[in-house]
Homo-oligomer: A and B are copies of this chain.
Amino acid sequence: MDETPSRVELSPVGFLRRSAAVFPNKVAVVAGERRYRYAELAGRVNRFAAALRAQGLERGDRVAVLCPNSPALLEAHFAVPAAGGVLVAINTRLTQEEVGSILRHSGARVLVADAELRPLAAPDALAGVEVVTVDDRGGGLDSYEAFLAGAPDTDADDGLADAGPLHEDDPIAINYTSGTTGRPKGAVYTHRGAYLRALGNVLETRLDRETVYLWTLPMFHCNGWGYPWAVTAVAGRHVCLRKVDYAAVWELLEQEGVTHYCGAPTVHINVVNHPAAHRLAQPVTVPTGGAPPSPTLLAQMQRLNLHPIHLYGLTETYGPHMGCPRQPEWDALPVEEQAALGARQGVPCLPLEETRVVDAELRDVPRDGQTIGEVVARGNAVMREYFREPDLTAEAFRGGWFHTGDLGVWHPDGYVELRDRAKDIIISGGENISTIEVEQAIARHPAVLDVAVVATPDETWGERPKAYVELKPEASATAEEIIAFSRQHLAGFKRPAGVEFGELPRTSTGKIQKYLLRQRERER
């Protein structure tokens, strides 16, 4: 019996194969002065994949990448899975210690690192790891181009499918969350999930052949929420950006005719307040993660022809798993009320299928906008597992639903509103910070008895960590000392914005009442 022609395993690698075949001459990538077409993107990806295979990469082997939003990281999103590997895109804002722990936990065989970020990978974390350095701005350290050029002869048409039999439930990527314990947790994404997430993005954020996508969202963050694959599916244009420089953002919005960019409200605040801000001729769709844009920000954006789509998600759900679509009947309501309705986290995005708010027995809470429950989810864009953590996976998947750890209420119209997002998580500039991790770092200081870290509102970053410290009897320390000390164990963005000393509020059973501290911060 011949293989059936009616079932092809879903993989987003196929999007590049198709776009390169159908639109070889369309511009695929813009990065500074570089600008290249789909045929060239496919050719480079193909050589990259062949070079990985020539290294002996086997199906399921991990390839780590430590790059800004450069073409190399975009290429890796196709080349690594095309070679049969699993992409581990590392957060570029981590410390040496954190990068090392991800390299070790993932067991990466290859690391592709930008020359500037290369020092984040310490020698002891690189035992047995083949390192390829990307220096695409002429610094002379590049070995990536030679790596590609050294690939065995390949035909651009064939190579993409050349990694042996694939099952669509095979892993395509592992994305590490900061987690709540400080221990790296790797959310495993599959080819199928990535394919469906990409088509979901097309549907939810209306990508098409004219899409010009500006890379403000870090590509290491949930695989750039799937846009490396989604934009390629429609043969759109990727405009890369090494760092979010707002003058450059405005230049590119104008010059390239950008139609879409993603980001947290922090990014939007900086975009609208930049001196170069002006109304654009083209409407720009702006999928917005994390906190909802405030009514003021919303109005500012709309004046500039920027149209946010409010989304909310987690690393475990391939990025956004809820969106807040406007209902036609909202138009008739007062503006304040419209803003409140639109600021909710909302309803599941395709292809997530289902989101519920449940009690401890997994029963739906009443849809009364009052009863708090946990948000649970099912669908093809829920991670397959935590890499090499069966116990954590089983815990997160208990009862056949993914437990987001987010607490919220369910409104009569079916929209979910989070009331206390995963209690311990601070979202700063779109990145998650675990308060437990920050607490553990501070707790190592010899003068510290106990510590509680909560979010404090921040104009620029949305939130930053604030530490409440109870010192040991007779011991003393200053806020500056505590912050300096925490530097040894924490990435810069995780360091506390402030420290306050005193007795911590506790329940009768001795648990710290963090909600009181959070309240105190909010009231300031």
Residues of A within 8 A of B (CB): 1-8, 10, 14, 18, 21-26, 169, 190, 192-193, 199, 202-203, 206, 208-209, 233-234, 325, 327-329, 347-348, 350, 353-354, 376-380, 382-385, 394, 397-402, 414
Contacts and interface: CB of A to CB of B under 8 A. Distances in A.
A400 B2 contact: yes
Given A5-B400, A5-B401, 6 more contacts: A2-B394, A5-B397, A14-B353, A25-B328, A209-B325, A233-B350
Nearest to A399: B2
A380 B6 contact: yes
7 contacts: A2-B394, A4-B397, A5-B382, A6-B193, A7-B380, A21-B414, A206-B208
A14 B350 CA distance: 10
Given A2-B397, A2-B398, A25 B353 contact: no
Given A25-B327, A347-B22, A353-B14, A5 B414 contact: no
A391 to B, nearest CB: 13
B169 A3 contact: no
A14 B382 CA distance: 17
Nearest to A15: B350
Contacts of A327: 23, 25
Contacts of A2: 394, 397-400
Nearest to A354: B8
Nearest to A381: B6
A350 B21 CA distance: 13
Contacts of A190: 6
Contact of A169 (B7, B398, B401): B7
Nearest to A21: B414
Given A234-B203, A400-B5, A414 B353 contact: no
Contact of A8 (B18, B23, B378): B378
A349 to B, nearest CB: 10
A18 B414 CA distance: 11
Contacts of A169: 7
Which of A199, A329, A385 gathers most chain B CB within 10 Å? Answer: A199
Nearest to A200: B199
